[in-house]
Amino acid sequence: MSTHAGFACLFTFTSDNRGVVIALQGKLDPEAVQELHPQVQEVYQAGVRRFVFDLSELSYLSSMGVRLLLGLRNQVKQDGQVVLCHPSAEIMSLVDMMKLNDIFPIYPTRAEAVAAISR
C-alpha cells in the first residue's frame, strides 16, 4: 500500500500468481510515480509479466504516470501484457486524447481484465 498523500495503490495477485491487479486511487502525479515505479519493478523482477491497472478510483494521470505504463508495456511486450480497466470518464477522456486505447486494451470491469490476462 502506498503512503503518498493523495495517492494509494493496492497490489492483488491473481490466483495463479502469474498476474497482478494494481488498483490506483487518487492522483498518479510525479511524486506518486516515484513511489509506485520501484514497487512495480519489484513485482516484475519476481517474474510477473501480466499487469492489470484498475483506474476506477484514479482522479488524475500525469505524463509521468503515462510513461510508467508505457515503459512497463515495453518491458513485458515479448512475454506479457499490460491492460487497463474501469477508467473514470475524466481518465478515459485523457486516454482517448493521447490515443492510449490504441496501445493498451481497456476493459470495463476488473473481472474482464483479469480474465483477459489469464488466457
CATH no. for 7-117: 3.30.750.24
Total-model pTM = 0.94
Question: Which amino acid is it at 62?
Answer: S
Domain boundaries, the chain: 7-117
Compute CA 2 distance to the chain's CA centroid, rounded to the nearest angstrom.
Answer: 14
Please report, in angstroms and rounded to a whole number, the separation of the first and last CA atoms in the chain: 27
Q: What CA–CA distance (Å, rounded) separates 102 from 99?
A: 6
Q: What CA–CA distance (Å, rounded) separates 59 from 8?
A: 11
Q: Residue 101, Cβ neighbours under 10 Å: how many?
A: 13
pLDDT in tens, the chain (119 residues): 555 678 999 999 998 889 999 999 999 999 999 999 999 999 999 999 999 999 999 999 999 999 999 999 999 999 999 999 999 999 999 999 999 999 999 999 999 999 999 98
* C-alpha grid cell, residue 37: 515505479
